Structure 1
Amino acid sequence: MNKSIRRGWNNTILGEVLTFKRGFDITKKQLRHGKYDVIFSSGFGGKHNDYKVKAPGVVIGRKGTLGKVFFAEKNFWATDTTLWVKDFHGNNEKFAYYFLHTMNLEQYDCGSANPTLNRNHIHSLPVSYPPLPTQKKIASILSAYDDLIENNNRRIKILEEMAQTLYQEWFVKFRFPGHEQVKMVESELGLIPEGWEVKKLGDVVELAYGKSLKAKDRQGGEIAVYGSSGVIGYHSQYLVKAPGIIVGRKGNVGKVFWSDTNFYPIDTVYYVQTRVCLYYVYFNLQNQNFINNDAAVPGLNRNQAYSLSFLLPNKDLLNKFQPFVSLIFNQIKQLNQKNNNLEKTRDLLLPKLISGQIDVENLDIDTGEIAA
């Protein structure tokens, strides 16, 4: 590496540039409604009416989920399963957040049974830290990608709410186009539009079992691997063609996910097969009352799910619904693709910027809004 690129960098130990402290005891049952984020080792996990750490702040997973890094823009409560940066020693907070992403801290597990990070251990790790102006430039470059991703995520959320609102208006409140001319008739679900049917879920939907794929067997690639909590990894081959619906079977019972790309559902989920408009089925399943039938590990019994009532509108209305929602979902798909490209570029730049392989010293970058 060219020495001029590294001019002014400080070869030291982590504890000299970032001092960590263990988080504060609190359980989810002790949370009280409030405006302050609570950060667990797995991420943001609720709100509380009090905080322990002033923002901006950086938090890493200490116990359970190790080494995951989180940035808090508002005052927050770091739980006892985390370590938070008590002292940045005058360094840039956002740069510290990105820097810690490159350290692969999960490899320093010192727990015998439960994965654990020891702050004294990581404090002694050797690091090479750039001067503050360079920190700010690097943080500004990487933040630009994250800001674009966040903006796209906000747009995706709005589009999802639009689609959900359309479903609610047409199929829950029965205010679909031409509803004024449609007679309401009695059914086991109450009054429904004439021509609609109350079926059993099993009459219109098949909940097909996913296939086991252990973490060590996942080959990476472009194919999302779905568990009951959502995307849990990536693989080189798909099991189901897109678009598709995934339903949690073990763990997160009845959690419903949509995939607009080919995917691999593992054995803790079902995937949906149906001849009914897939968008309608997706929203209907989100409103079903799936019941946990397993006392030890939460589980969704397929026969119980099949016995649930399923309101089936007439084909003409579903045919009208399809293009409206399809347009929205296509926009969501495009935004997700943009985010994937932004994340790949950011992740490619991240280690090269943090290590000094890419020189930013002479770049004219506005760092005015980068903290510290």
Structure 2
Amino acid sequence: MSWYDCTLGDVVKLQRGHDLPERVRVDGPVPIVSSSGITGRHNVPKADPPGVVTGRYGTIGEVFFVDEPYWPLNTALYVVDFKGNDPRFAAYLLRNTLKNYKSEKAAVPGVDRNVLHLLKVRSAQRSEQERVVSILSAYDDLIENNRRRIMLLEEAARMFYREWFVHFRFPGHEHVKVIDGIPEGWERPHLRDVLELRYGKALNKEARVEGQFPVYGSSGIVGTHQAALVSGPAIVIGRKGNVGTVYWVQVDFWPIDTVYFIPNEQSDFWLYLALPSVGFQNTDSGVPGLNRDFAYSRKIIRPSDRMRRLFNESVAPMFAQRTTLTNTNQKLTQARDLLLSRLMNGEIAV
């Protein structure tokens, strides 16, 4: 019999990740993997590949496969023993098992590895595992390829921004005087004079009804919902947790209470690309947080209306292509997860 019933602990052994405070991190090539994926870099690893990491608290149900030395953070659990199973199959099995997992901790969503080890699952012989992986990894390869293309488009837009608004090599710059360090006609206002930071609204995982609208937290998309709170395109800024992260959201969405959002009428490509250089900082002593008054006190170099409009028109094709690739990845992810469920439930034979 190729498929059989067992516990998750029969397939993998999970261990809590390791603390690594911001103050002791040294920038390097090693990815730091938290409950929401890669959230930083360090100069030394704590675990060798292949790695399978999932959230211990915070973002529950996401599973990340790592093919290089990495540092699993204390907000996550990671596999320390695959017990002879295919590592990628273990990642798919864990994803399928945790997709509807309900935490017993009411305050902060969390999971206990000892509880997870006892969950009932269906596994397969190694040869069957490899066939499952060959099917599902084809989707993942396409998703990863599109993700890399999105990153390249993002970097191209950022290079464009730096050329115009950092190095001041914008069209016609040869004929514009620089006064007090900025081109004539440009300004250096406080953020409060440029935008409004609005608070997101709480939407617990238990209250969400899976739908077409993405739910944004400070680590990016954390789920979907049947209703939207904000019209896109708009900009999201991390307020709690991942302070100062900035996201461009093309579609209608729901920002939760760990973020601020800038409304549609104030959001454009120039502002999205300018905000990371403003210098947002953690202003809370406990949980990392961004105080709105502090954010408003920061200054930003604002170009003339004409130059801002010209820049937005110039990078619009890049963002349009990015949106197309993002939509494609969402459809691929949905198709993969549906196929994953059917393969694991035995509805489809391989």
Instruction: Give the TM-score of the pair, scaled to structure 1.
Output: 0.79
Q: CA deviation at 1:281?
A: 1.5
Is the counterpart of residue 211 in structure 1 residue 201 in structure 2? yes
Partner secondary structure for residue 221 of structure 2: strand
Structure 2 CA distance for partners of 1:98 and 1:311, relative to 1, 3 Å: same
**Following TM superposition, by how much is the alpha carbon of 1:145 offset from its aligned partner in structure 2, in angstroms?**
0.6
Cross-structure match for 1:22: 15
Query: Is the CA contact 1:59–1:85 (under 8 Å) kept in the aligned structure 2?
Result: no
- Structure 2 residue 169 is matched with structure 1 residue 161: no
Aligned to 1:222: 212
Question: Following TM superposition, by how much is the alpha carbon of 1:41 offset from its aligned partner in structure 2, in angstroms?
Answer: 5.2
State the alpha-carbon separation in 2 of the partners of residues 25 and 249 from structure 1: 24
SS of 1:325's equivalent in the other structure is: helix
Relative to structure 1, is the Cα distance of residues 88 and 243 closer, same or farther in structure 2, using a 3 angstrom cutoff?
same
The answer to which of 33-42 and 165-174 deviates more is 33-42
The 2-side partners of 1:297 and 1:79 are apart by: 16
Q: Determine the structure 2 residue equivalent to 1:145.
A: 139
Partner secondary structure for residue 196 of structure 2: strand
Q: How does 1:306-345 map to 2 (within 5 A)?
A: 306-345=296-335
C-alpha change, 1:301 and 1:345, in structure 2 (3 Å) is: same
1:184 corresponds in structure 2 to 178
| Partner in structure 2 of residue 10 of structure 1 | 4
In 2, distance between residues paired with 1:64 and 1:243?
Answer: 26
Measure, in 1, the Cα distance between the counterparts of 2:264 and 2:274: 13
The one-letter code of the counterpart of 1:241 is S
Q: Give 2:154's aligned amino acid.
A: E
Identical columns (%): 42
Asked if structure 2 preserves the Cα contact closer than 8 Å seen for 1:294 and 1:300, the reply is yes
For each residue in 1:191-225, what CA deviation from the matched residue of structure 2 results, as whole angstroms up to 9, or x when unmatched? 21122233332223222333343433332211122
How far apart are residue 35 of structure 1 and its match? 4.4
Matched residue, 1:92: 86
1:82 corresponds to 2:77: yes
Deviates most, 173-182 or 269-278: 269-278
1:206 match: secondary structure: coil
Unaligned runs of 5+ in 1: 1-6, 361-372
* Equivalent residue in structure 2 for 1:73, among 59, 67, 76: 67
Structure with max Cα Rg: 1
CA distance in 2, matches of 1:343, 1:273: 28
Deviation string 1:265-318 (CA, Å, 9 cap, x unpaired) is 234433224766711121222211234444445444434433433322222222
CA distance in 2, matches of 1:348, 1:178: 53
Q: How many residues align?
A: 347
Match for 2:169: what amino acid? R
Q: Could you tell me how far 1:105 is from its partner in structure 2? A: 8.5
**Is the Cα contact below 8 Å between 1:204 and 1:275 reproduced in 2?**
no
Q: Secondary structure at the match of 2:231?
A: coil
Find the aligned partners of 1:169 and 1:38 in 2 and give their Cα distance. 30
**Does residue 257 of the first structure (1) align with residue 250 of the second (2)?**
no
Equivalent pair of 1:246/1:272 in contact (CA under 8 Å): yes
- Partner amino acid for 1:265? P
2:349 is aligned with what amino acid? D
What is the letter of the counterpart of residue 236 of structure 2? I
Q: Work out which of the residue numbers 198, 203, 221 in structure 2 matches 1:231.
A: 221
1:32-81 superposed Cα distances (whole Å, 9 cap, x missing partner): 66544454555445555555654334344557766653323234455675
Structure-2 change in CA distance of 1:83 and 1:231 (3 Å): closer
Letter in 2 for 1:97: A
SS in 2 for 1:348: helix
Displacement of 1:98 in angstroms is 0.9
Aligned to 1:370: none
